[in-house]
Amino acid sequence: MTEPSWHAVHTYELTPTARDGIRAFLDTAFEGGFSDDDWDHTLGGIHVCARDGSGVLAHGSVVQRRVIHAHRSYRVGYVEGVAVRADRRREGLGGRVMAALERVVDGAYAFGALSASDTGARLYAARGWQPWRGRIAVQGPAGVEPLPDEEGSTYVRGAAGRPLPSASQGLIFDWRDGDVL
């Protein structure tokens, strides 16, 4: 099996063909559960992608989000769109994607955060990401709105050895389309 080529690029550097290829890959990898809002959340940051002659094998991106915790606003690296093609899973590609994204988080953000699927949670936990034990909310159009469905599936990671915020106070994420109705 040929070693895939790896690329780390900002969204603005993706050609329309590359962007369309990543979107099609994510639609397939998430078995139709990847919405237009999910795609929008994946854009605007650094994409890490593995490819071979057949196309995209693995992808993930990290984008900036603002998070309020204990009356302070943090720049957080939020991981989005992590997937590995079904026939190439369990080869370490997801770990390589995450290692590259974690370098971005370590170099640019106060901490990292992501929302994990049941399947992805094992990968993140094995890499030192921790489930957030506090409340999760979003600064929505009508003010702060709790997101109880995100509690238990949100994972955080300290950047470059910096400590994580205390779970005794919740995290309030910036609002994006699709977060609340």
Q: How far apart (Å, rounded) are the C-alpha atoms in residues 112 and 54?
A: 31
CATH classification at residue 38:
3.40.630.30
Q: Is residue 31 part of a domain?
A: yes
Q: What is the full per-residue pLDDT of the chain (181 aa) written as tens digits?
A: 678 999 999 999 999 999 999 999 999 999 988 999 999 999 999 999 999 999 999 999 999 999 999 999 999 999 999 999 999 999 999 999 999 999 999 999 999 999 998 888 999 999 999 999 999 999 988 899 998 888 889 999 988 777 787 888 899 999 988 766 5
Residue type, 65: R
* Residue 144 CB partners (closer than 8 Å, separation 6+): 137, 138, 172
Domain count, the chain: 1
159 part of a folded domain: yes
Buried b / exposed e over 55-69, threshold 16 CB at 10 Å, is ebbbbbbbbebebbb
Q: What is the DSSP letter of 88?
A: G
In a domain, 179, yes or no: no
pTM for this model (two decimals): 0.94
**Boundaries of domain holding 104:** 5-174
Does residue 181 form part of some domain?
no
Answer whether residue 180 is part of any domain.
no
